[in-house]
A and B are shown apart, each in its own frame.
Chain A
Amino acid sequence: MTRPSRFAWVLLLAGLYVGVPQVFGGDLYLMSNIVAALTIGGIALSWSLLGNLGGMVSFGHAAFVGVGAYVSALAVMKLGAPVFAGMILGGIGAALASILIAPALRLRGPYFALSILAYAHIFKIIATEWKSLTNGSGGLSSIPRFPEWAGFDFGSKTGSYFIVLTLVLLFAGIYHLVRRSDYGLALRAMHDSEAATRVVGVNSLLLKALMLLLSAFMAGVMGAFNAHYINFLEPDYAFSTLWTTLPIVAAIFGGYRTIAGPLVGAMGVYLVDQLVFKSLIPSGHQVILGALLIGMILWSPGGLLPPLIRLFNRRAHAQA
């Protein structure tokens, strides 16, 4: 793959931070869809970090999203924490919650996937039953929105867009650094030969636990962002399995072995579904998405991005 130049990065960032709000900022419906797609993208990124680096398929990311959302909302509402501090606390809360599932890291493949699926439900039950704290299935309403800072309203659609975009780019940067580090190398090695990495001194269980912790933190922060963005939480929504399935679909669609793949996948899947398929088939539009996903897994199991990059490189070579 040819490396994008520094100039291309500046161009991309300018487009995201200036271009998108300038061009689409007036269209509130489109902006809210973009914000939602980026939220899914951030969770998809966290999911694929665990899958790609940690080698674990998680069906439980809804738990981290929900815990992050509730911890942040409650920290702001009950303890009076500032919203941004609450979001970090939400991430920490989700990371702590992930420690509870750490014993299951000894399990492999479908066994891990199943145990984390069951585990995710525990938190939904807690959020429903601990009424004195969470108001049970009545939910939390009027969750404080993002504040005004230096004369700019972060609670607006465009403001929320800046926040979620920054979070997603930040997480992508962290992912990149981890993957490039010695730990990333060891994690890559563990994928196919865990026993062989242990006998050369790699504490594989600890590394996997750290990836789970990081992944949960990211998902928790995204959940917290969403809570302050929509200002309302209830257990069925906060822990909805959609927070697990949509990111998985997005990550696989885009290519979960790459960093950009889950983000591109989320933008593609969510925006196309909401803006195109939904207008074609108002109810049951997810059917098209399902069919596309099956086709994708059959014909390009590596996702959408790798063949696109190959195509792009071939074009670039042809022109050179």
Chain B
Amino acid sequence: MLKLDAVTVRFGGLTAVNAVSLDMPAAGILGLVGPNGAGKTTLFNAISGLVKPGTGAIRFAGNDISRWPQYRRARAGLGRTFQIPQPLAQLTVRENLLVAQRFGAGAVDRQRLDEILALVNLLAKADCDAATALSLSELKALEVAKALATDPQLLLLDEVLAGMESESKRAFRGMLQQVHERFRVGLLIIEHDIETISALCPRVVVLNFGEVIADGAPGQVFRDPRVIESYTGQATA
């Protein structure tokens, strides 16, 4: 499904992502963790096309998409959310999804659109102004719904649960699980909360200074001394 082959992204002298290779099977759930500045979001930006990798190849569903423009990646089934929600301003919630569906999936399917809205609990606010009428967790839900409307095979979720209190976090987690099962969509999740990651992801990849330092089941990865060191900044005895 998604295959990264030694992907490197540099900003001037700074190497934000350094030779990251990753193989993600179809319709799986993969957690991407690491301390701040580890290069997680930059890696997302490279996969979704916001930045172009200096070297390396990004393969998705059998195609080398490294040089594809963003809109083409979206149409090919690669959806993403932004850490800071970016609703399509001036549009209603439903129109947000309508644009995503019309241009990302290719055709409007109102029944499916309502299904998505119901799943993320936004049906009651479907005709509200997206930029002004939603709470933070609703804006995050809209990010997911908008990406889902493009009919993706893989969703890149950039800290969709950050900033929520624990109860809505759990509800949101359940919603993501449902999204995964109902629409058979793969999830690649950036998240800091270890409880969330452990509950959702059978596999976790840890980035530090732009490099993969661990890859495995959450129980095993979060006990890895190198991972603990990357977070605490000191070697454990």
Contact = CB atoms under 8 A, between A and B. Distances in A.
A135 interface: no
A202 B104 CA distance: 7
Contacts of A196: 82, 86-88, 146
Contacts of B149: 200
A317 B135 CA distance: 33
A204 B103 CA distance: 11
Contacts of A102: none
Interface string B74-108: 11000110100011111100011011101111001
B82 A186 contact: no
Nearest to B146: A200
A192 interface: yes
Given A200-B147, A200-B150, A191 B100 contact: no
B89 A201 contact: no
A182 interface: yes
Contacts of B89: 189, 191-193
A100 interface: no
A141 interface: no
Interface string A270-281: 000000000000
Contacts of A199: 48-50, 70-71, 74, 79-80, 147
Interface in A92-142: none
Contacts of B75: 201
Contacts of A298: none
A193 B81 CA distance: 13
A195 B71 CA distance: 10
B103 A193 contact: no
B90 A200 contact: no
Contacts of A198: 49, 69-71, 74
Q: Which of A185, A192, A201 has the most CB of B within 10 A?
A: A201
Interface string A171-187: 00000000000100110
A320 to B, nearest CB: 25
A258 interface: no
Contacts of A200: 74, 79, 99-100, 103-104, 146-147, 149-150
A199 B98 CA distance: 14
Contacts of A182: 98-99, 102-103, 108
Interface of chain B, main secondary structure: helix
Contact of A201 (B74, B82, B87, B131): B74
Given A186-B103, A199-B70, A201-B75, A191 B90 contact: yes
A193 B150 contact: no
Interface string B50-81: 10000000000000000001111011000110
A203 interface: yes
A201 B50 CA distance: 13
A185 B95 contact: yes
Contacts of B102: 182, 185-186
A193 B88 contact: yes
Nearest to A192: B89
Contacts of A204: 71
A231 interface: no
Given A182-B99, A185-B95, A202 B86 contact: no
B74 A185 contact: no
A80 B139 CA distance: 61
A189 B74 contact: no
A188 B105 CA distance: 19
Q: Which of B69, B99, B100, B105 has the most CB of A within 10 A?
A: B99
A173 B50 CA distance: 36
A189 B99 contact: yes
A61 to B, nearest CB: 25
A197 interface: yes
B90 A201 contact: no
A33 B65 CA distance: 57
Contacts of A185: 91, 95, 98-99, 102
A197 B90 contact: no
A69 to B, nearest CB: 36
B210 to A, nearest CB: 22
A254 to B, nearest CB: 20
Contacts of B74: 198-201
Contacts of B147: 199-200
A199 B108 CA distance: 17
Contacts of B131: 192
21 contacts: A182-B99, A182-B103, A185-B102, A188-B90, A189-B90, A189-B91, A192-B131, A193-B86, A196-B82, A198-B69, A199-B48, A199-B50, A199-B79, A200-B74, A200-B146, A200-B150, A201-B100, A202-B99, A202-B104, A203-B71, A204-B71
The 6 A-B pairs with the shortest beta carbon distances in the complex, nearest first, are A201-B104, A189-B88, A200-B100, A196-B86, A192-B89, A201-B74
Given A193-B88, A200-B149, 20 more contacts: A182-B108, A189-B88, A189-B89, A189-B91, A191-B89, A192-B88, A193-B86, A193-B87, A196-B82, A196-B87, A196-B146, A199-B49, A199-B79, A200-B79, A200-B99, A200-B150, A201-B75, A201-B105, A202-B104, A203-B69
